[in-house]
């Protein structure tokens, strides 16, 4: 395994990553402007290497999905200091923040309220057109599509959270195995075999339902092997600095597999052995809370999800708990779990004495 701490870029951290974060980097002068967003923010682009194989990588097409962007910056750092072999063989075309307005406002959608990852049939937004034009001019051999997934995701059949999930996007409803899809599957198997040794049981396959509006489907359909990378939740680390390391490791593994042709020896059917994603996590699960409901007092479990909000003043993301389910939730998991079985205080689900629950945590 690589010595990650050597390459990690400490100037960039936390969940709020914007164009300003990129401009603070020591290599910010290497960025060019690809074009402009709806809100007239520059969309930065970095070309790295001089090889004949072209890899196109973009991140934060969903503005509030910043973890993989941090990993991508670390990948750039790795390539710059250690990647001579890679850079002679590959030319990397990197768009670290495709949706700078969404990043600034901490929203999934762009300034017009459009989900850019549902815009690859219409190309109605300038950001989608910028990526499509770059794709057309580069004619990449591989595409890496970088995202964050919600903390709800688990690895199917287990009680482990999905820290990293991967996908070879489909090209039709019958999920045909085209040569491009097979190539992506093989590279994913390469990543999985390395990554699963580090975070065993925490790596999964993202949902592969076909949606032609998505960028991954669009480029895969054009015949370019495309891989979706999703950074997920690991324990109570909501800065996702730990996940960042594992995502960086995934990206380096993918590049190594492609450059050293490791993927060619892999049987692509092994892809289907990677467990799928499931949705079995709350951010906080409080078990056996004594609740008064309709003149009855019962013990019940409470499942909370954090709503992420940008505090415009401090430029920090706050994580505000909201009850989304209650009842018998024993088959679910929480990134944090507390048992109230020995607590005899009665809470009311409609009143704000529930806030006391959080004070006790």
- Candidate ranges 65-73, 235-243, 246-254, 299-307; the one touching Zn ion (CB under 5 A): 65-73
Q: Please say whether the beta carbons of 247 and 8 come within 8 A.
A: no
Angle between the 179-198 and 241-259 helix axes, to the nearest 10 degrees? Answer: 130
Q: Is 15 in the site for Zn ion (CB under 5 A)?
A: no
Interface characters, 97-136, with Zn ion (x: CB under 5 A): ----------------------------------------
- Min. distance of Cβ 147 from Zn ion in angstroms? 3
- Candidate ranges 56-64, 198-206, 326-334, 336-344; the one touching Zn ion (CB under 5 A): 56-64
- State whether residue 165 is helix, strand or coil: strand
Nearest CB to Zn ion, comparing residues 95 and 302: 95
What does the alpha-carbon distance between residue 117 and residue 215 come to, in Å, rounded to a whole number? Answer: 6
Would you mind telling me the total number of residues written for the chain in this entry? 361
Who's near 146: CB < 8 A, 6+ residues apart? 57, 58, 59, 60, 65, 68, 69, 71, 72, 229, 231, 247
Who's near 270: CB < 8 A, 6+ residues apart? 189
Q: Which residue from 147, 160, 181, 202 is in contact with Zn ion, where contact means CB under 5 A?
A: 147
Interface characters, 291-330, with Zn ion (x: CB under 5 A): ----------------------------------------
Sign of the four-CA dihedral 129, 133, 136, 142: negative
Nearest CB to Zn ion, comparing residues 52 and 207: 207
Nearest CB to Zn ion, comparing residues 62 and 70: 62
Q: Which two tokens stand for residue 106?
A: 């901490």
Q: Is 62 in the site for Zn ion (CB under 5 A)?
A: yes
- CA-closest candidate to residue 75, choices 128, 174, 7: 7
- Candidate ranges 16-24, 142-150, 182-190, 217-225; the one touching Zn ion (CB under 5 A): 142-150
- Candidate ranges 26-34, 55-63, 156-164, 244-252; the one touching Zn ion (CB under 5 A): 55-63
Q: Please say whether the beta carbons of 184 and 205 come within 8 A.
A: no
- Candidate ranges 26-34, 49-57, 89-97, 140-148; the one touching Zn ion (CB under 5 A): 140-148
Beta bridge partners of 322: 305
Which chain residues interact with Zn ion by CB under 5 A? 62, 65, 147
């Amino acid at each position: 395994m690589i010595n990650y701490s050597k390459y990690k870029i400490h100037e960039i951290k936390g969940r709020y990553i914007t164009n300003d974060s990129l401009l603070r980097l020591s290599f910010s002068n290497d960025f060019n402007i690809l074009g402009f967003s709806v809100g007239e923010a520059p969309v930065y682009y970095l070309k790295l290497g001089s090889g004949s194989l072209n890899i196109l990588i973009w991140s934060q097409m969903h503005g509030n999905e910043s973890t993989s962007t941090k990993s991508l910056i670390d990948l750039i750092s790795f390539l710059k200091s250690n990647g001579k072999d890679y850079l002679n063989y590959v030319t990397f075309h990197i768009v670290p923040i495709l949706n700078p307005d969404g990043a600034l406002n901490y929203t999934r959608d762009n300034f017009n309220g459009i989900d850019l990852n549902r815009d690859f049939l219409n190309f109605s937004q300038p950001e989608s057109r910028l990526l499509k034009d770059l794709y057309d001019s580069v004619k990449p051999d591989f595409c890496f599509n970088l995202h964050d997934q919600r903390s709800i995701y688990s690895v199917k059949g287990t009680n482990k959270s999905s820290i990293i999930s991967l996908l070879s996007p489909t090209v039709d409803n019958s999920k045909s195995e085209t040569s491009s899809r097979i190539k992506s599957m093989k590279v994913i198997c390469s990543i999985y075999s390395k990554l699963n040794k580090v975070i065993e049981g925490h790596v999964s396959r993202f949902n592969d339902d076909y949606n032609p509006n998505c960028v991954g489907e669009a480029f895969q359909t054009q015949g370019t092997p495309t891989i979706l990378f999703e950074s997920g939740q690991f324990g109570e680390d909501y800065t996702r600095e730990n996940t960042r390391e594992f995502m960086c490791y995934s990206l380096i593994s993918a590049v190594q597999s492609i450059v050293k042709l490791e993927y060619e020896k892999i049987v692509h059917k092994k892809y289907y052995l990677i467990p799928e994603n499931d949705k079995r996590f709350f951010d906080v699960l409080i078990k056996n809370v004594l609740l008064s409901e309709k003149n009855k007092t019962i013990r019940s479990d409470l499942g909370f999800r954090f709503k992420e909000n940008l505090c415009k003043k401090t430029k920090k993301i706050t994580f505000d708990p909201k009850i989304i389910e209650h009842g018998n939730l024993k088959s679910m998991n929480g990134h944090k779990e507390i048992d109230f079985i020995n607590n005899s205080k009665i809470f009311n689900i409609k009143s704000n004495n529930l806030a006391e629950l959080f004070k006790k945590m």
